[in-house]
């Protein structure tokens, strides 16, 4: 018998002072059996940092042909492709050829630095690619609940996540 995904609900109140985006999003997310709560939070953070009416979660980890999140235009062309973690060169090339803009969010520095060093020369040719390392607080997984409500404030590329009893800061480090 296969293990099923765990469903999580996230209500996000986003105030992005950097882009003047202010909106609420009611999300339903599936935590894949092979996915950690940390990775789930990174996907949520990636959504918050790029939030728009058209940004949606994809099958991601369960589907090779889709990113973790994407935004498409009315003609079904991919405007934004977002992956989390350390995708291989083949996947990066596919993403960059199919999408107007690609963002890869890394989040475990001990794994992402060697990954980036290995791929740096081959991925520098992609002008539509950004690699951003997220500096996450150690206790960010404490925010994961089956039902979460987060106030999300972004100023100077710094994200503050606020719940009833906790406030955490996520910073971004651009690699290119």
Please give the domain boundaries of the chain with CATH numbers for all domains.
6-174 (3.10.640.10)
Q: Report whether pLDDT(150) > 90.
A: yes
Q: Report whether pLDDT(1) > 60.
A: no
Q: Report whether pLDDT(19) > 90.
A: yes
Q: Which of 41, 130, 30 is nearest to 80 (CA)?
A: 130
User: Range with the lowest mean pLDDT among 28-37, 148-157, 158-167?
Assistant: 28-37
| pLDDT confidence of residue 63 | 60
Mean pLDDT of 76-84: 96
pTM for the full model? 0.94
Contact call for residues 42 and 105 (beta carbons, < 8 A): yes
Mean pLDDT of 111-119: 93
Cα gap 159→150, rounded to integer Å:
12
Q: Which of 99, 87, 86, 107 is nearest to 55 (CA)?
A: 99
| pLDDT confidence of residue 64 | 67
Percentage, residues of the chain above pLDDT 90:
84
Mean pLDDT of 148-160: 97
| pLDDT confidence of residue 175 | 81
User: Number of helices and strands (H, E) in the chain?
Assistant: 3, 10
Q: Report whether pLDDT(61) > 80.
A: no
Cα gap 69→84, rounded to integer Å:
9
């Amino acid at each position: 018998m296969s293990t099923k995904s765990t469903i999580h609900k996230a209500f996000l109140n986003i105030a992005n002072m950097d882009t003047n985006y202010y909106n609420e999003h009611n999300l339903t997310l599936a935590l894949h059996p092979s996915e950690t709560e940390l990775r789930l939070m990174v996907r949520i953070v990636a959504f918050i940092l790029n939030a728009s009416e058209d940004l949606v979660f994809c099958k991601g980890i369960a589907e090779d042909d889709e990113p973790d999140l994407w935004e498409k235009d009315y003609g079904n062309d991919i405007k934004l492709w977002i992956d989390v973690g350390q995708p291989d060169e083949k996947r990066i090339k596919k993403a960059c050829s199919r999408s107007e803009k690609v963002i890869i969010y890394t989040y475990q520095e001990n794994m992402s630095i060697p990954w980036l060093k290995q791929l740096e020369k081959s991925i520098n040719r992609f002008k539509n690619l950004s690699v951003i390392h997220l500096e996450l607080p150690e206790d960010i997984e404490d925010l994961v609940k089956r039902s979460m409500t987060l106030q999300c404030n972004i100023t100077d590329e710094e994200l503050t996540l606020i719940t009833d009893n906790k406030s955490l800061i996520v910073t971004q480090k651009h690699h290119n």
